[in-house]
Amino acid sequence: MDFISAVKTVFKKYAVFKGRATRSEYWWFWLFSTIVGLLLVVAIVADLVRGIIAGAIDMADEAAVMLAVYLDPFTIVLLIFAIVVFIPTLAVEVRRLHDIGRSGYWLLAYYLITILLGLIPNILINTILTLALSIIFIVAMCRRGEEGENQYGPNPLEETENGEM
């Protein structure tokens, strides 16, 4: 599956939490979301820097800086983009977990643990544990899917090879 077809597939299966997703479907969509998000953040920062250089924003006034960021049109676009990709991201993550034979509840556990780790007051311990959990999650998402059909459905690689989808 290539970049364009992966993004189309994820949006076509906008809120489909059943079935399985290939590694390429998941990682191409992850790359798409990351690139768009980073480009929008860069645009927000560029607008902020432009405002500071032009003298329209006083760096000493934290409230003015925050207001400039919140009112930036790219911030609104970023918020809309985040809302649009939220459900498909969860869906493709659950389908990816299904492909490796795991329940979608693993994703819920991952997010809950991440939130709970955020409550740890020691920033070093918090960072180390969150990083370790993220590495475990990334390794899981990189695993090859189970061969053949599993309890979540047929192997999406076999469906693709047979011309079905």
**Taking the domains of the chain in order of start, what are their residue ranges?**
3-94
27-51 tens-digit pLDDT: 999 999 999 999 999 999 998 888 8
Residue 70, classified by CB atoms within 10 Å of its CB into exposed (0-12), middle (13-18) or buried (19+), is exposed
pTM of the model: 0.85
Instruction: Single out the residue of 151, 98, 145 nearest to residue 1, CA to CA.
Output: 145
- Mean pLDDT for all residues in the chain: 91
With a CB cutoff of 8 Å and minimum separation 6, the contacts of 99 are 20, 21, 22, 23, 145, 146, 150, 152, 155, 156
